[in-house]
Structure 1
Amino acid sequence: MRTFLLLCLVALFPTVLMAQKITGAIKGTIYDSINDYALQSASISVYKQSDSSIVEFQLSNTSGEFDIKNLPPKVPLYMIVSHTGYRPVIKNLLLDSLNLSTDFKKLFLFQKAENEMDEVVVKAVQPIRMNGDTLEINPDAFKLDSNAVVEDMLMRVPGLTVWGDGTITMNGRKLEKVYVDGKPFFGGAAQTATQNLPKNAIEKIQLYQEKDLSKVQQSEEKTDSLYAMNIKLKADKKKGMFGKIGAGYGTDDRYTGDGVMQFYNKRTQAGIAAGINNINKEEGTGENAFLENTFKSNFRVFFGGRGGGADGITRRTYANAKIQHSFSESDNSQFYNRMSADYGYLNTLKNVLTNTTNIQNITQNNSSYKLSNIGESRGMNNNTSNNVKFMYENRKQFGNFVNLTANYTNQFTTSENESTTNVFKNDSTAISTALNRNRSTTVNDNLNMFGFIRSNDAGQLQDPRKNFMLFFNGGYNNSSSNSNTVSRFLSYIDTIPSDLIDRKYNTLNRNYNASLTLNYDGFKSLIFGIYNFFNIDVSLANDISISRSEMDSRVSDLDTLNNLYQQNELLTNNNILTNFSYKPGLSFRKSINKSVWEKYNYWFSMGVELKYQFLNQKNESSFLFRNIDRNFTAFTPNLNMNFSYTKNNAYRMNSYLWANIQQTPASIDQLYPLVDSTNRYNIIAGNPNLKASTNTYGNWNFDINRSKMNTKSNYGASIGLNYNNTANAVSDNLVYDSSGRSIRYLINVAHQRAVSGNFSTRFSTNLTKLSSLNFSYRLNLSTNERPGFINSVSSTSTNNSISNNLSATYSLIDKFNITIGETIATNRSVQQSANRISSVIRNYTTTGNINYFITKELTLNTSLNYQNNIAANGNSVKVNIWNANAIYRFMQQKAELKLSAFDLLRQNKNITNFVRENSATTTITNGLQQYFMVTFSYYPRKFGGRSGAPPPPPGAIMIVR
Structure 2
Amino acid sequence: MKHVLRFVFLTSCSFLLTVVLAQAQKGEVKGKLWDTAHKEVVSYATVAIYTAQDTTLATFRVSDEKGNFRVPNLALDTRLRIVITMTGLKTYRKEFTLSAGQPELDLGQINLEQADHMLGEVVIAAEAPPIIVRKDTLEFNANSFKTLPMALVEDLLRKLPGVQVDAEGNISVNGRSVQKILVDGKEFFGNDPKVATRNLPADMISKVQVVNDPDALRRDPDMPVSEIPQVINLKLKKGIKQGAFGKLYAGKGTKHLFEGGGIVNLFRDTTQLSVLGYANNLNRPGFGFEEINRIGGFNRSGWNSMSMWSDGGFALNGISFGATGQGIQRSAGAGGNFNTLLKNGIKLNLQYFYGGINADLNQVVNSQQFLKDRVQQPSDTLNTRRLREQDSRDQSHRIGGKIDWKIDSLTSFSITPSVTFSTSTANQYSLANTTFNFQELANDSQDTLRREGSRTAFTTAVSFERLFKKKGRIFTLFGDYNYNLSDQDQVNRSINQFYRENPYTVFLDQLRVNDREGLTTYSNFSFTEPLRKDLSAVLRFNTEYFQDENDINTYRYNEDRGQYDILEESLSDRVNRDGWRNYLTLGLRWKIKDVSLQPGVRATRLDIYNRFERDAPIDQHYFYVYPSLNITWKQLNFSYNVNVREPNAADLQPVPDNTNQLYVQYGNPGLTPTISHSLNLHYRYNNTNRSLNYSTYLYGTISEDAVTRARTVDLEDGKQTSTPLNTGGNWNISSNTNVMKDYKFDGNRQFSVGGGLNIWYSRTLILLDQYRRGVLENQLRGFGHSINVSPRLEGRMNLNDKLEIIQTYSVNRQWGRYEKNLANNIAITNQTAKSEVIVRLPKKLVWEVSYDYWYNSNAAPGLQRSYGRLNAGITYLFMKNDRGQLKLSVFDALDQNLSAYRSVRENMVEDYQTAVLNRYGLLTFTYNIRNFGGKVGGSSNSFFRF
Q: 1:721 aligns with which of 690, 698, 703?
A: 698
CA contact (8 A) 1:309 1:909 kept: no
- Hey, what does 1:881 align to over in structure 2? 869
Report the alpha carbon displacement of residue 821 of structure 1 after superposing the two structures with TM: 0.7
Between stretches 730-739 and 557-566, larger displacement belongs to 557-566
Report the alpha carbon displacement of residue 387 of structure 1 after superposing the two structures with TM: 1.8
Q: 1:826 aligns with which of 791, 810, 813?
A: 813
Between stretches 355-364 and 718-727, larger displacement belongs to 718-727
The TM-score normalised by the length of structure 1 is: 0.86
- Hey, what does 2:319 align to over in structure 1? none
Between stretches 255-264 and 681-690, larger displacement belongs to 681-690
Q: Give 3-state SS (helix, strand or coil) of 1:200's partner.
A: helix
- Hey, what does 1:598 align to over in structure 2? none
CA contact (8 A) 2:189 2:295 kept: no
CA contact (8 A) 2:210 2:230 kept: yes
- Hey, what does 2:484 align to over in structure 1? 477
Q: 1:634 aligns with which of 623, 643, 655?
A: 623
> Is 1:567 aligned with 2:567?
yes
1:768-787 equivalences under 5 Å are 768-787=746-765
Deviations 1:683-714 (A, max 9, x none): 344555555443222222122222x4xx3x32
Report the alpha carbon displacement of residue 859 of structure 1 after superposing the two structures with TM: 1.1
- Hey, what does 1:512 align to over in structure 2? 519
**What are the ranges of 5 or more consecutive residues in structure 2 without an aligned counterpart?**
297-310, 314-321, 770-778, 937-946
Q: Provide the C-alpha distance between the structure 2 equivalents of 1:940 and 1:477, rounded to a whole number of angstroms.
A: 40
**Which amino acid counterpart does residue 84 of structure 2 have in structure 1?**
V
- Hey, what does 1:757 align to over in structure 2? 735
CA contact (8 A) 1:211 1:224 kept: no
- Hey, what does 1:919 align to over in structure 2? 908
Report the alpha carbon displacement of residue 504 of structure 1 after superposing the two structures with TM: 1.2
**Which amino acid counterpart does residue 659 of structure 1 have in structure 2?**
Y
- Please provide the CA RMSD for this pair: 3.2
Report the alpha carbon displacement of residue 66 of structure 1 after superposing the two structures with TM: 2.2
Q: Give 3-state SS (helix, strand or coil) of 1:837's partner.
A: coil
- Hey, what does 1:543 align to over in structure 2? 542
CA contact (8 A) 2:628 2:642 kept: no
- Hey, what does 1:459 align to over in structure 2? 469
Report the alpha carbon displacement of residue 487 of structure 1 after superposing the two structures with TM: 2.3
Q: Provide the C-alpha distance between the structure 2 equivalents of 1:260 and 1:812, rounded to a whole number of angstroms.
A: 32
Deviations 1:781-801 (A, max 9, x none): 122222243222323222111
Compared CA separation, residues 942 and 866, structure 1 to 2 (3 A): same
Q: Provide the C-alpha distance between the structure 2 equivalents of 1:727 and 1:14, rounded to a whole number of angstroms.
A: 53
- Hey, what does 1:842 align to over in structure 2? 829
Q: Provide the C-alpha distance between the structure 1 equivalents of 2:514 and 2:765, rounded to a whole number of angstroms.
A: 35
Deviations 1:792-822 (A, max 9, x none): 2323222111112221111112211111111
CA contact (8 A) 2:869 2:892 kept: yes
Q: Give 3-state SS (helix, strand or coil) of 2:372's partner.
A: strand
CA contact (8 A) 1:898 1:936 kept: yes
Compared CA separation, residues 126 and 668, structure 1 to 2 (3 A): closer
Report the alpha carbon displacement of residue 905 of structure 1 after superposing the two structures with TM: 0.5
- Hey, what does 2:661 align to over in structure 1? 680
- Hey, what does 1:803 align to over in structure 2? 790
Q: Provide the C-alpha distance between the structure 2 equivalents of 1:629 and 1:680, rounded to a whole number of angstroms.
A: 30
Q: 1:208 aligns with which of 208, 211, 223?
A: 211
Q: Provide the C-alpha distance between the structure 2 equivalents of 1:843 and 1:110, rounded to a whole number of angstroms.
A: 64
> Is 1:503 aligned with 2:510?
yes
Report the alpha carbon displacement of residue 360 of structure 1 after superposing the two structures with TM: 0.4
- Hey, what does 1:317 align to over in structure 2? 332
- Hey, what does 1:557 align to over in structure 2? 556
Report the alpha carbon displacement of residue 149 of structure 1 after superposing the two structures with TM: 2.8
Compared CA separation, residues 125 and 798, structure 1 to 2 (3 A): same
> Is 1:603 aligned with 2:595?
yes
- Hey, what does 1:142 align to over in structure 2? 145
**Which amino acid counterpart does residue 598 of structure 2 have in structure 1?**
M
Q: Provide the C-alpha distance between the structure 1 equivalents of 2:394 and 2:290, rounded to a whole number of angstroms.
A: 19
Q: Provide the C-alpha distance between the structure 2 equivalents of 1:881 and 1:703, rounded to a whole number of angstroms.
A: 35
- Hey, what does 2:350 align to over in structure 1? 341
Q: 1:700 aligns with which of 681, 706, 714?
A: 681
Q: Provide the C-alpha distance between the structure 1 equivalents of 2:535 and 2:205, rounded to a whole number of angstroms.
A: 46
Report the alpha carbon displacement of residue 212 of structure 1 after superposing the two structures with TM: 7.3
> Is 1:89 aligned with 2:92?
yes
Report the alpha carbon displacement of residue 749 of structure 1 after superposing the two structures with TM: 3.4
Q: Provide the C-alpha distance between the structure 1 equivalents of 2:219 and 2:162, rounded to a whole number of angstroms.
A: 32
Report the alpha carbon displacement of residue 136 of structure 1 after superposing the two structures with TM: 1.3
1:657-672 equivalences under 5 Å are 657-666=638-647, 669-670=650-651
CA contact (8 A) 1:260 1:272 kept: yes
Report the alpha carbon displacement of residue 616 of structure 1 after superposing the two structures with TM: 1.9
Between stretches 891-900 and 319-328, larger displacement belongs to 319-328
> Is 1:193 aligned with 2:205?
no
Q: Provide the C-alpha distance between the structure 1 equivalents of 2:214 and 2:141, rounded to a whole number of angstroms.
A: 25
Compared CA separation, residues 898 and 258, structure 1 to 2 (3 A): same
- Hey, what does 2:587 align to over in structure 1? 587
**Which amino acid counterpart does residue 713 of structure 2 have in structure 1?**
Y
CA contact (8 A) 2:603 2:623 kept: yes
Comparing both chains, which one has the higher relative contact order based on Cα–Cα distances under 8 Å and sequence gaps of 6 or more?
Answer: 1
**Which amino acid counterpart does residue 728 of structure 1 have in structure 2?**
D
CA contact (8 A) 1:218 1:224 kept: no
Deviations 1:341-387 (A, max 9, x none): 33221111111111011000113584331100011001112111112
Deviations 1:897-937 (A, max 9, x none): 11101000100000111111111100001111100111111
Report the alpha carbon displacement of residue 8 of structure 1 after superposing the two structures with TM: 4.8
Compared CA separation, residues 774 and 636, structure 1 to 2 (3 A): farther
Q: Give 3-state SS (helix, strand or coil) of 1:722's partner.
A: strand
Report the alpha carbon displacement of residue 245 of structure 1 after superposing the two structures with TM: 1.4
Compared CA separation, residues 736 and 780, structure 1 to 2 (3 A): same
CA contact (8 A) 1:725 1:752 kept: yes
Q: Provide the C-alpha distance between the structure 1 equivalents of 2:282 and 2:656, rounded to a whole number of angstroms.
A: 41
**Which amino acid counterpart does residue 322 of structure 1 have in structure 2?**
N
- Hey, what does 1:402 align to over in structure 2? 413
Q: Provide the C-alpha distance between the structure 2 equivalents of 1:30 and 1:179, rounded to a whole number of angstroms.
A: 34
Q: Provide the C-alpha distance between the structure 1 equivalents of 2:121 and 2:479, rounded to a whole number of angstroms.
A: 58
Q: Provide the C-alpha distance between the structure 2 equivalents of 1:147 and 1:731, rounded to a whole number of angstroms.
A: 55
Between stretches 396-405 and 338-347, larger displacement belongs to 396-405
Q: Provide the C-alpha distance between the structure 2 equivalents of 1:2 and 1:309, rounded to a whole number of angstroms.
A: 30
Compared CA separation, residues 718 and 121, structure 1 to 2 (3 A): closer
Compared CA separation, residues 813 and 407, structure 1 to 2 (3 A): farther
Q: Provide the C-alpha distance between the structure 2 equivalents of 1:827 and 1:136, rounded to a whole number of angstroms.
A: 49
Compared CA separation, residues 385 and 671, structure 1 to 2 (3 A): closer
Q: 1:790 aligns with which of 748, 768, 779?
A: 768
Q: Provide the C-alpha distance between the structure 1 equivalents of 2:99 and 2:782, rounded to a whole number of angstroms.
A: 77
Deviations 1:469-518 (A, max 9, x none): 11212111122222211122111126461111111133332222222221
- Hey, what does 2:922 align to over in structure 1? 933
* Identity, % of aligned positions: 22
CA contact (8 A) 1:404 1:452 kept: yes
Q: Give 3-state SS (helix, strand or coil) of 2:239's partner.
A: helix
1:128-527 equivalences under 5 Å are 128-186=131-189, 190-210=193-213, 220-222=223-225, 225-284=228-287, 287-289=290-292, 311-327=326-342, 337-363=346-372, 366-367=375-376, 368-395=379-406, 398-456=409-467, 458-461=468-471, 467-493=474-500, 495=502, 497-522=504-529
Q: Provide the C-alpha distance between the structure 2 equivalents of 1:122 and 1:676, rounded to a whole number of angstroms.
A: 77
CA contact (8 A) 1:501 1:558 kept: no
**Which amino acid counterpart does residue 330 of structure 2 have in structure 1?**
R
Report the alpha carbon displacement of residue 430 of structure 1 after superposing the two structures with TM: 0.3
**Which amino acid counterpart does residue 758 of structure 2 have in structure 1?**
N
Report how many aligned residue pairs link the two structures.
895
Report the alpha carbon displacement of residue 83 of structure 1 after superposing the two structures with TM: 0.9
Deviations 1:152-194 (A, max 9, x none): 3333333434443434444455444444334554455555433
Q: Provide the C-alpha distance between the structure 2 equivalents of 1:643 and 1:347, rounded to a whole number of angstroms.
A: 45
Between stretches 829-838 and 55-64, larger displacement belongs to 829-838
> Is 1:766 aligned with 2:776?
no
